[in-house]
Amino acid sequence: MNIEPYHMDARLTAGLVDLIEFCQNDEAHLGIKMIEQSDVFEIEHHYQENGGNFWIALDGDKVVGSIGLLKVGQQTAVLKKLFTYPEYRGEPHRLGRKLFQTLLTYAQAQPDIDRLVLDTPMGEHRSHFFYEKQGFKRISREKLTVDYEFPDRDSLIYEREL
């Protein structure tokens, strides 16, 4: 398995769309359409040109995981699109943790980022546990001092200082 920065490639994008649709809709039953997530089709512009980044995990040539870092506002970046197929969660792969560590290492090397925020659907208790284990604390929406789009309006908001 290999984690690498995203680069424009139609097959990678198609694999990423499959992964996101599986995790959001088949598994979590959120009913979020890809039309609501145009960032997936503009990764280089949306994430990478602004000083953030986006990584994919490949098992052979299959996209099996993803994570993005979107820079927004002063000193703040958003963790976005952390997805893995179920068979890559936990032992022996721990892909979510590896993807998060990749993002964290990158973020900590950026002098203009000192806080990460994220949104996660209210019903995704496994995700809440994961983020809390990684040092994130739940905050109210009023404490979210930056504005960014997230398709699930029933999301919980978390933050973590770097």
In which domain, by residue range, is 52 found? Answer: 2-161
Each residue of 36-77: pLDDT tens digit? 999 999 999 999 999 999 999 999 999 999 999 999 988 999
If you average pLDDT over residues 144-158, what whole number do you get? 81
Q: What are φ and ψ of residue 105, in 5° steps?
A: -60, -45
Check pLDDT > 70 for residue 34: yes
- Count structural domains, the chain: 1
Q: How many CB atoms lie within 10 A of CB 28?
A: 16
* CB-CB contact of 120 with 136 (8 Å): no
Q: What is the pLDDT of residue 151?
A: 66
* Percent of the chain at pLDDT exceeding 90: 88
0.85 surpassed by pTM: yes
CATH number at residue 127: 3.40.630.30
Q: How many CB atoms lie within 10 A of CB 89?
A: 15
